[in-house]
């Protein structure tokens, strides 16, 4: 009795392994769990940090400009005739 037995080819094994590796790849797992990869998350956080920092710098500059304008207005608000006599140049 002769049995006709054929071993699976290496290509078939590699194909199965490739499918299994694809299902357990880091990208696939993160995609299925709906979580960001560390690299992508770090880039997003850095972009958000830079944008927020620029926004805070703009707000800080606007506050500083407002305070400078407001302080000059406040000084004029409380100016009395006596103050104008004191600040007159000596002749």
**Structural domain range at position 51:** 19-79
The total of structural domains in the chain comes to: 1
Question: Is residue 2 in some structural domain?
Answer: no
Q: Are 62 and 68 in contact (CB under 8 A)?
A: no
pLDDT exceeds 80 at position 61: yes
In a domain, 7, yes or no: no
Write down the H helix ranges in 1-91. Answer: 10-23, 26-33, 38-77, 81-86
pLDDT at position 1? 46
Percent of the chain with pLDDT over 90: 25
Residue 4 lies in a domain: no
Q: What is the Cβ-side half-sphere exposure of residue 35, based on CA atoms within 13 angstroms?
A: 6
Could you tell me if residue 67 is inside a domain?
yes
In a domain, 56, yes or no: yes
Q: Collapse the DSSP code of 35 into the 3-class scheme (helix H, G, I; strand E, B; otherwise coil) and give the result.
A: coil
């Amino acid at each position: 009795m002769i049995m006709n037995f054929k071993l699976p080819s290496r290509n078939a094994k590699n194909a199965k392994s490739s499918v299994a590796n694809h299902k357990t790849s880091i990208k696939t797992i993160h995609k299925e769990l709906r979580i960001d990869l560390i690299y992508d998350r770090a880039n997003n956080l850095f972009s958000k940090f830079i944008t927020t920092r620029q926004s805070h710098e703009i707000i800080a500059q606007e506050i500083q400009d407002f305070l400078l304008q407001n302080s000059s207005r406040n000084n004029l608000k409380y100016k009395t005739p006596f103050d104008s006599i004191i600040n007159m140049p000596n002749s």
